[in-house]
Amino acid sequence: MSEPRQPTPQDGPPAQVPLEGLPPPTVPQSAPPVEPFPWRRLDPRMLLVHPVLELVKFFPFLVGIFVLGRSGEDNWWQFIGVGIPIALGVMRFLTTTYRVTQTQVELQRGLIGKKVVTARLDRVRAVELTSSPIHRLLGLAKIEIGTASGGKQDDDKFALDSLPMAEAREMRVALLHRTEAPASFQLVVGPPHSDDVSNGPSRADVVLVRLDPRWVRFAPLTSSGNVIAAGLLALFGQFADRANLDIVTEKQAEGLLTGISVVLVVVLVPLSFIILGAVFAILGYLISNWGFTLSRDARGLVFQVRRGLLTTTETSLERERVRGLEVGEQLGLRLAGAGRLSAVVTGISKDERSSTQLVPPAPIEVVAHVGAELLEDASPMRLTLQQHGPAARRRRYTRALLGASVVPVLALVLSLTTPLPWWAVLPALSTLPIGLALAADRYRRLGHGLTEGYLVVRSGTLRGRRDVLQRSGVIGWNVQQSWFQRRAGLVTLVATTAAGQQAYAAIDIPEGMAVALADAAVPGLLTPFLS
């Protein structure tokens, strides 16, 4: 951890390194005669990380080689199979260099086809440090940098795998606290901040919220556990099938079917599925959120989320880049008085959504508190929302009833055309009250509001959500109207933004109300088009 970094030979004279323990020189090097920003290499210990990862990837291939190789005479080529991943790792180490200059961070890759990825420092939106268990063992971290390009060019994603933990943290400071760092910031390595991996955020940070183990009770209420359980069951089914694991033969099956009552199966299967789902949800919650800490730096400019049981991640978000918040209020969570919170951040593409999570499923008061802290304004989280009126309510009911009537109608058709008894239609009718209840709640949830700085929209029951979007972050409006909406005099007003999901919608809002809302939220934009 303490071994000094070695600048690459072609770098010219090494840059000035400030004295240990002292702040770096504050006098900027005016017109430096030599290259002041040396190219740096990844940590040599990454050589251990990559072969291990590559070996895992190559594992089936390697097994093949050795199994086949045993039978043959010449087995020298077995070693090529082992050598390739190691060679790839060495190649990557030798060909990857990076540097941070005053204005940008540059990453150079490739042996023959050299490729330089450049990101301007003032476009850096977020920095994420990730340490897999192997990384943690070696005291390393992978650093990923989110820039303003919005992840449109995925191949130019900026990632350094890996740096020593302390250096990665320093680099993060250099990238995000630019105003704090002296103009001629140099990456100082080693002693000054020899935090080890288990250390939390540095002393100056203010911890806003930490994981409360009791929050685990909310995990089964999210859908993730069921998804995992379903996936595993499917996988097991396939595996058993593939392996010809005929646990029960046909004759046994017949015996079982007559022995066990059908009702028992109908009860047991879903029950075991639910239990399995809950277990996996809890495990998943703990694995990804263990040690969750949300903190803020002393000046309130950068927020940092740490979490992870096996692979730890540290995500830093600049407050300035946060355009708003998404409060997840899925039905299950809402009934338990819980919610989850993520940030709407520019420069993070939709598929990196996990890195914007601020609070895992937690009591809604915690979520509201953190939201208020982040926005420096409590009103958007509390605001009583304006409802969308009778036409929107009618539309909720027609849509819910149309959906809910599919099952009874199907049952009716079946009972008329097949020997299915007529009373089988009765249980199918139960979808109707469910539909009605959903419609009522969906209408209650539908709403919008405006505070001094934020636009708030809320919708949905099963996947309910409340989106808070900075009014100055709205960079356009889409007013959508389907044929049915036009007949009802409703529109879907979509605020477009450069952050998060890129679009946040107020659904089924009366046309006049939509125009008034858009006009009020972004004054002046609509003025030339109003009549």
Partner 1 sequence: MTDQAPEPAAANPALREPAHQVSSKAPVVWAAGAAVRSLVVLVVLVLASVFDWFPVPLWAWPLYAVLAIAYVVWMPKVRYRIHRWESTDTAVYTQTGWLSRERRIAPMSRVQTVDFEQSVIARFLGLASVTVTTASAAGPLKITMIDKPVADRLVDDLTRRTEAEAGDAT
CB closer to partner 1 out of 132 and 497: 497
Rg over alpha carbons for the chain, rounded to the nearest Å, is: 29
CB closer to partner 1 out of 1 and 518: 518
Q: How far is the CB of 493 from partner 1 (least distance, A)?
A: 10
CB closer to partner 1 out of 152 and 203: 152
In which residue are the tokens 């999901």 written? 501
What is the separation of C-alpha 346 from the centre of its chain, rounded to a whole number of angstroms? 14
Q: How far is the CB of 159 from partner 1 (least distance, A)?
A: 22
User: What's the DSSP call for residue 426?
Assistant: H
**DSSP symbols for 129-156:** EEE-HHHHHHTEEEEEEEETTTT-SGGG
- List b or e across 224-248, with b for residues whose CB sees 16 or more CB atoms inside 10 angstroms: bbbebbeeeeeeeeeeeeeeeeeee
User: What's the DSSP call for residue 249?
Assistant: -
CB closer to partner 1 out of 278 and 526: 526
Q: How far is the CB of 119 from partner 1 (least distance, A)?
A: 13
Q: Where along the sequence are the contacts to partner 1 (CB under 8 A)?
A: 123, 148, 150, 152, 346, 450, 475-483, 485-486, 494, 496-499, 501-503, 511-512, 515-516, 519-520, 522-531
Q: How far is the CB of 475 from partner 1 (least distance, A)?
A: 4
* HSE-CB for 371 with a 13 A CA cutoff: 31
Q: Which of 82, 64, 61 has the alpha carbon at shortest distance from 72?
A: 64
Other Cβ atoms less than 10 A from the Cβ of 483: the count is: 6
CB closer to partner 1 out of 442 and 448: 448
Q: How far is the CB of 318 from partner 1 (least distance, A)?
A: 12
Contact status, residue 182 vs residue 28, Cβ threshold 8 Å: yes
CB closer to partner 1 out of 85 and 500: 500
Q: How far is the CB of 492 from partner 1 (least distance, A)?
A: 9
Peptide linkage before 162 cis (omega within 30 of 0): yes
Q: Which of 491, 304, 521, 312 has the alpha carbon at shortest distance from 389?
A: 491
Q: How far is the CB of 128 from partner 1 (least distance, A)?
A: 19
CB closer to partner 1 out of 23 and 476: 476
Q: For residue 436, what are its two tokens? A: 């009605």
